[in-house]
Structure 1
Amino acid sequence: MTSAAERGTRDVLVVIGVGGMGEAIARRQGTGRTVVLADFSQAALDRVGDALRGDGFEVVVHLVDVSSRTSVAALADAAGDLGRVTQVVHTAGLSPVQASRDAILAVDLLGTAHVLDEFERVIAPGGAGLVIASMAGHFLPPLPPEVSHALATTPSDELLALPVLASIAEPAGAYSFAKHANHLRVRAASAGWGAKGARVNSISPGVISTPMGQQELAGESGAQMRAMIDGSGTGRVGTPYDIADAAAFLLGPDASFITGTDLRVDGGVVAAVSTGRLDLRGGR
């Protein structure tokens, strides 16, 4: 067991959201680091934390509500107290089958903004951040430039008051909108993170076989999602380890010249749609 002094000099990996992707990334990136697992669910933290400890990882768990700036700030401060925060991965989110329009905007939109803001304060020089967005953000129709600018730069505490949000009525629309906004917020945040000597990027997964993904496949959009898989270049559902592999690249030294960008890890779905191979209105 490491002492308090030894822990203070260690590199710290923070994983927010301990679902399938979060756990896979923690396992891929956590060796030799203090792993801070954060989630809204104590039961999920206990399950994943115990499993990682049993496999030899040094783990600290922390309850967090990403929709609360105070809660995210407390998490950032706690991680900073443990050592050098060199990697931050934000996977927490709600999908349309799980939550209401308001909850999705509070967690997926505002929550991401809070994480980008608060971890910019504590990220170590040479560190990297990663936001898990979604390919759904690439299907949103083009926004007016002034709306995109507002989504990218409006102070986090004012985000949910933007007039454009009044036009969003359904959970599915809120999800796509929030994930597109994630791309914009990451772009804007890259300058502030860069001033700290750090990078930040996002990944847009496709259909991934996590508990959330399985819920979506069983829901109203399941038929469309299966058409996406069938019409994609790879023709298969993704795994959490596909996302962990991409995360390892973006968080690591081989991506030292990459920041403020989004990497689609979707099996080719967006490519199929954008080139007309796949029509989301009627399948292939």
Structure 2
Amino acid sequence: MSAKVLVIIGAGGMGLAVARRLGAGRTVLLADIGEDVLKAAEQTLRDEGLTVTTQVVDVTSAASVQHLAQTAQAAGEVDQVVHTAGLSPVQAPAQAILKVDLLGVALVLDEFATVIAAGGAGVVIASMAGHFAAALTPEQEHALALTPADQLLQLPFLSPDKVTDPAAAYGIAKRANHVRVAAASTVWGERGARLNSISPGVISTPMGQQELAGQDGQLIRALVDASATGRFGTPSDIAAAVAFLLGPDASFITGTDLLVDGGVVAAVRSGRLGALTAPAE
């Protein structure tokens, strides 16, 4: 068994791409809420020569995430952590999205801050939707960044009567990822580790295909057509960015968000798309 451990939370397209990019010579601890998904991913990666172990995790449960962190630490030196798990607006109602995409990230950051090795690094997959979220006050962003995880969903502006639209919940959660990572990077830094987020654009994953088939599919295609690259992203595009942020070339980068969207945000902010509002990834 490798002395170094790569933890990947989320066994979807991005998680598998990261495992393939970074897993050689390491123990890959792959975690997901779906046991069948995990079994299939484990077999695929093992067939490709990687050393893989799996664990079912519910990122909305502090005890479940803590157990995952303990398992990772017992497996070796935890020097890379990548959180890719999440729900999109077409997959769940608003409060479920806040629970998984906001609370889940906060719990992972807290628990893995206690086991990440010196010189290690973590990446949270956020979304370009966080750059388009409805404006939050400085006080609200401060609360999202620093409120203890077990109290996050009790914030008044996140109450079920205030956040009812899944797309709005997704944007808030992803913006929260940005500010939460920035704040948590100082805690990780006390252990000599770095922490950043990545905001993907429209990526060709099963989740991305669901979004394209949803009510905002036409708008999503228009955004891609207007972007500088004019194409959908791939899981490999995200894995390459993850590899950079986890590697030595990014040793002076922490507490920030890397936008990997093919130029969609730039196209919107430049006015190319007029008053259109960008959807979730």
Q: Give distance in 2, aligned partners of 1:225 and 1:121.
A: 39
Q: What amino acid sits opposite 1:192 in the alignment?
A: V
Alpha-carbon deviations, 1:100-157, whole Å to 9, x = none? 1111011000000000000000000000000000000000133111111001000000
Corresponding residue SS for 1:32 = coil
Q: Which of residues 233, 237, 255 is equivalent to 1:238?
A: 233
Corresponding residue SS for 2:117 = strand
Residue aligning to 1:93: 86
Report the Cα offset of residue 56 of structure 1. Answer: 1.0
Dislocated runs of 4+, deviation >4 Å? none
Q: Which of residues 207, 211, 224 is equivalent to 1:216?
A: 211
Where does 1:73-84 land on structure 2 (aligned, <5 Å)?
Answer: 73-84=66-77
Residue aligning to 1:189: 184
Gaps of 5+ in 1: none
The 8 Å contact of residues 134 and 171 in structure 2, kept in 1 or not, is answered as no
Q: Give distance in 1, aligned partners of 2:276 and 2:255.
A: 31
Report the Cα offset of residue 277 of structure 1. Answer: 1.2
Q: Give the alignment's TM-score, normalised by structure 2.
A: 0.96
Q: Which of residues 103, 112, 135 is equivalent to 1:119?
A: 112
Residue aligning to 2:131: 138
Residue aligning to 1:262: 257
The 8 Å contact of residues 268 and 276 in structure 2, kept in 1 or not, is answered as no
Q: Which of residues 139, 146, 153 is equivalent to 2:146?
A: 153
The yes-or-no answer on 1:272 pairing with 2:267 is: yes
Q: Give distance in 2, aligned partners of 1:73 and 1:280.
A: 44
Q: Which of residues 154, 162, 171 is equivalent to 2:155?
A: 162
The yes-or-no answer on 1:250 pairing with 2:245 is: yes
Q: Give the alignment's TM-score, normalised by structure 1.
A: 0.95
Identity percentage of aligned residues: 64
The 8 Å contact of residues 181 and 195 in structure 2, kept in 1 or not, is answered as yes
The 8 Å contact of residues 18 and 37 in structure 1, kept in 2 or not, is answered as yes
Report the Cα offset of residue 17 of structure 1. Answer: 0.2
Residue aligning to 1:48: 41
Corresponding residue SS for 2:96 = helix
Q: What amino acid sits opposite 1:91 in the alignment?
A: T
Identify if the C-alpha distance between structure 1 residues 274 and 78 changes in structure 2 by more than 3 Å, giving closer, same or farther.
same
Residue aligning to 1:109: 102
> RMSD of aligned C-alpha atoms?
1.1
Q: Give distance in 2, aligned partners of 1:38 and 1:124.
A: 19
Report the Cα offset of residue 280 of structure 1. Answer: 5.3
The yes-or-no answer on 1:12 pairing with 2:38 is: no
- For these two proteins, the number of residue pairs brought into alignment is 276
Q: Give distance in 2, aligned partners of 1:116 and 1:170.
A: 26
The 8 Å contact of residues 95 and 163 in structure 2, kept in 1 or not, is answered as no
Q: Give distance in 1, aligned partners of 2:64 and 2:271.
A: 44
The 8 Å contact of residues 132 and 277 in structure 2, kept in 1 or not, is answered as no
Residue aligning to 2:224: 229
The yes-or-no answer on 1:29 pairing with 2:22 is: yes
Report the Cα offset of residue 168 of structure 1. Answer: 1.1
Q: Give distance in 2, aligned partners of 1:30 and 1:78.
A: 17
Q: Give distance in 2, aligned partners of 1:100 and 1:230.
A: 29
Identify if the C-alpha distance between structure 1 residues 112 and 83 changes in structure 2 by more than 3 Å, giving closer, same or farther.
same
Q: What amino acid sits opposite 2:100 in the alignment?
A: V
